[in-house]
Amino acid sequence: MKFNSLIPELTVTDIERTKDFYLNILGFKMEYERPENKFIFVSLEGNQMMLEQENGHWSVGELEYPFGRGINFEMTVSDVDAIYKRVLDAGIKPFREMQVSNYRSNDEVVVQKEFLVQDPDGYLLRFVN
């Protein structure tokens, strides 16, 4: 497996709940885990994330829900509609419903279909086509 140059590692409160959300609802693949450290490494179409239950090793301050305030993780996927459907089927209310957005990039306009959902700890995930 090739590791991306940038891989976010997120601190979570309950690794089992997090694992269920990322694998069974969002459709991520388990690359590997270290149960003794309550750590998982997951991927989805080239998007990679490390998730670890709070252990004090990386804490720079008190964690308070929602975690990750001020950041969202944008992930490009081939079938944003399928992920959106799984989120809805799980009874999860998206942070932002599916929409088509236009973003200016210098002299171009980038059009992407996207939705946002919070994970169990409140991290904001943006899925785009």
Give a three-class secondary structure readout of 59-115. CCCCCCCCCCCCCEEEEECCCHHHHHHHHHHCCCCCCEEEEEEEEEECCEEEEEEEE
Cα gap 94→108, rounded to integer Å: 28
The structure tokens 């980038």 sit at: 110
Q: Which residues of the chain have pLDDT under 50?
A: none
In this predicted structure, what is the pLDDT of residue 2? 94
Nearest to 12 by CA among 72, 93, 67, 49: 67
Which pTM value belongs to this model?
0.93
Q: Please name each of the domains of the chain with its CATH number.
A: 9-128 (3.10.180.10)
Q: How do the residues of the chain divide into helix, strand and coil, expressed in percent and rounded to 5?
A: 20, 40, 40
In this predicted structure, what is the pLDDT of residue 22? 98
Sheet holding 29-34, edge to edge: 9-12, 47-53, 39-44, 29-34
Cα gap 67→121, rounded to integer Å: 6
